[in-house]
Amino acid sequence: MSGVGPYVLAVDEGSSTARAVVVDAEGAIVAEARRPVLPIHDNPGWVEIDPVRLWELQLAAICEAFHASGIRVDELAAVGLTTHRETAVVWDRATGRPLHHAIMWMSSQTDEIVHQWSADGLDDKVRRSTGLHNDSYYTAAKIAWILRHVDGAQDRARRGELAAGTVDTWLLWNLTGGRSHLTDHTEASRTAMFDLETLDWDHELLAAYDIPVELLATPVASDAGFGELLPEILGAAVPITAVLGDQQASMYGQGCFTPGSAKNTYGTAGVLTVSCGTEPRPIDGLTTGVSWTLRGETRYGVEGVVAHCGQALQWLRDRFGTAWVGANADRALDLVADTDGVYMVPAFAGLWAPALDRRARGGLVGLSLATTVEHMLRAAIESMAYQTLDIVDALRAGDLDLTELRVDGGGARSDALCQFQADLLGIPLARSAQLERTALGIAFAAGASSGLWAGEADVASTWSQDRVFEPSMDGARRDELVDGWRSALASVRAHTPGPRRSGTPHPERNPA
């Protein structure tokens, strides 16, 4: 690494937090700031964000982190941007005003559109071209929903009056004063509109979706020039030199560069990604996409998403008033040695990878009169590990085995979760000494693009383990627990109601 200074500003916008950090040339965080992001639940199953408020929160975090660092603006070598993915925003090019709330990745309001696309025979095309599944999780249906439900939007989009994109594109537009309407390959590869072979929008799919290409940002390499930070934000223009989706930034920050290296993030959602080299690799139940395009080379990864990871603990807190969440979870687990046969399947919006059953609904299985909140808490924590096991089993079935799993995210602070995960997987679990690898990952990518760091070797040198959890559970006990989990999964799928929730808005509400 270089000597002390200059610095990189990492803009890290997650599903629940707008965050900014300043990183020095040694890879250390010298200042950070964050603001909570509160979703909007105006209709059952809908999850949205006010995009203007999101921008204001992120701007406040940027300014606070920069001023807290005590550095001069001319000491900033670059800005890097990473965001949560799949969420969609559509706005007016002339005014910058959004047409509708941003529709978040977890929202179910686009289900009917996806069902229609499936009936139109698009499932195979989506899978072959994009590496994804035809699902309301991805961005395409969200953009289509806004165009259909806001008066005049479809015609305005065709006339080139509107702009659309994922959160990275929206923030770039605002950071540069409307000069950059761009997205990178990683973010684009999570939209269900992006061809993994051509690294460009799939015009055949766009025609089927009725989404004009003129509406969309230009997809570029992850280390392309993304414009400059407006001078009025920090006092001078600063180049924005890298953009990555949050999970890809985490993977980069964890140093998962060789095929077969993998990381798992335990956040609001849980996301396991594994490097598969320079070619995409389809595996049943999972997705494949771009890990990054840096220094002229595109690398791909396989990914499995658990929709409700840390959110299961939040649900217990909100519904049962328990304080045993976050850093306090392990202390609560000291009160019970096991779940006493209780399993929690947090399928609040269906089962995601690898089951891909959006009809399923969550369940608490094995309750008795002796069940306590602590038993349910342990079951919620263990559900994170069971769902990760399901993804790893799918990887193994696709001949992509793991020898180690690196972990980060808030849930990884739990020793109990990490040990239980290692026991279920039968491989070592390596917890990073710095759990915030997402912000560091985008900082490293941006710094390397500006010449501050050499690239992968420098990134790898910053990674160190806090602890390695070795599997130690008796095999018979493991099999017994996994069998119970499989039964719990079967029960939430067997008792699922037939029709899915509708994406139709309440008639008395104006979605615009």
Q: Does 253 reside within a domain? A: no
pLDDT at 202 over 70: yes
CB-CB contact of 179 with 231 (8 Å): no
Whether the CA torsion 68, 73, 76, 80 is positive or negative: it is positive
pLDDT of amino acid 281 = 93
What percentage of the chain's residues is helix, strand, coil (to nearest 5)? Answer: 35, 25, 40
Q: Does 393 reside within a domain? A: no
Q: What percent of the chain has pLDDT over 70?
A: 93
Hey, what are 361's tokens?
């609904």
Instruction: For residue 126, give the CATH number of its domain.
Output: 3.30.420.40
pLDDT band at 445 (very low <50, low <70, confident <90, very high): very high
pLDDT of amino acid 359 = 84
pLDDT at 502 over 60: no
Q: Which of 19-23, 190-194, 341-345, 410-414 has the lowest mean pLDDT?
A: 410-414
Q: Does 111 reside within a domain? A: yes
pLDDT of amino acid 329 = 64
Half-sphere exposure of 426 (CA within 13 A, CB side): 12
Euclidean distance between the first and final Cα of the chain, in Å? 50
Mean pLDDT (whole number) for 238-248? 96
For residue 500, what is the DSSP state?
P
335 compared with 176, residue with greater pLDDT: 176
CA dist 313 and 316 (Å) reads 5
CA dist 109 and 510 (Å) reads 14
Mean pLDDT (whole number) for 174-195? 97
Residue 265, strand partner residues? 271, 408
CA dist 316 and 384 (Å) reads 14
pLDDT band at 16 (very low <50, low <70, confident <90, very high): confident
Each residue's pLDDT tens digit, 373-393 = 889 889 998 999 999 999 999
334 compared with 118, residue with greater pLDDT: 118
Each residue's pLDDT tens digit, 346-372 = 988 888 899 888 888 899 999 999 998
CA dist 269 and 409 (Å) reads 10
For the chain, helix (H) and strand (E) counts, in that order, are 17, 23
CA dist 402 and 404 (Å) reads 6
Q: Is 505 exposed, middle or buried (0-12, 13-18, 19+ CB in 10 A)?
A: middle
Whether the CA torsion 265, 271, 277, 283 is positive or negative: it is positive
Q: What percent of the chain has pLDDT over 90?
A: 71
Residue 302, strand partner residues? 274, 288
Q: Does 17 reside within a domain? A: yes
Each residue's pLDDT tens digit, 43-86 = 888 999 999 999 999 999 999 999 999 999 999 999 999 999 99
Each residue's pLDDT tens digit, 466-499 = 899 999 999 999 999 999 999 999 999 865 554 4
Give me the domain span that covers residue 41.
7-244
pLDDT at 435 over 80: no
Omega prior to 6 cis, within 30 of 0:
yes
pLDDT at 409 over 90: no
Mean pLDDT (whole number) for 319-344? 75
Q: Which of 205-214, 218-227, 377-386, 405-414 has the lowest mean pLDDT?
A: 405-414
Q: How far is CA 391 from CA 134, 396, 443, in A?
A: 19, 9, 29
Gyration radius (Cα) of the chain, Å: 22
Residue whose entry in the numeric block shows the structure tokens 């289900």: 111
Each residue's pLDDT tens digit, 118-175 = 999 999 999 999 999 999 999 999 999 999 999 999 999 999 999 999 999 999 999 9
CA dist 214 and 162 (Å) reads 8
Residue 322 in 3-state DSSP? coil
Residue 78 in 3-state DSSP? strand
What torsion, rounded to 10 degrees, do the Cα atoms 489, 492, 495, 500 define? -120
pLDDT of amino acid 2 = 43
Q: Does 168 reside within a domain? A: yes
pLDDT of amino acid 324 = 57
Residue type, 220: V
pLDDT of amino acid 512 = 31
Q: Does 424 reside within a domain? A: no
Q: Does 399 reside within a domain? A: no
Single out the residue of 251, 252, 241, 222 nearest to residue 459, CA to CA: 252
pLDDT of amino acid 506 = 31
pLDDT at 449 over 60: yes
CB-CB contact of 221 with 185 (8 Å): yes
Query: What's the mean pLDDT when you consider all of the chain?
Result: 90
Residue 275, strand partner residues? 301
- Domain tally, the chain: 1
Hey, what are 95's tokens?
């005014």
Residue 499 in 3-state DSSP? coil
Single out the residue of 404, 411, 413 nearest to residue 387, CA to CA: 411
CA dist 492 and 486 (Å) reads 10
pLDDT of amino acid 498 = 46
Q: Does 320 reside within a domain? A: no
CA dist 192 and 85 (Å) reads 12
pLDDT band at 458 (very low <50, low <70, confident <90, very high): confident
CA dist 482 and 167 (Å) reads 38
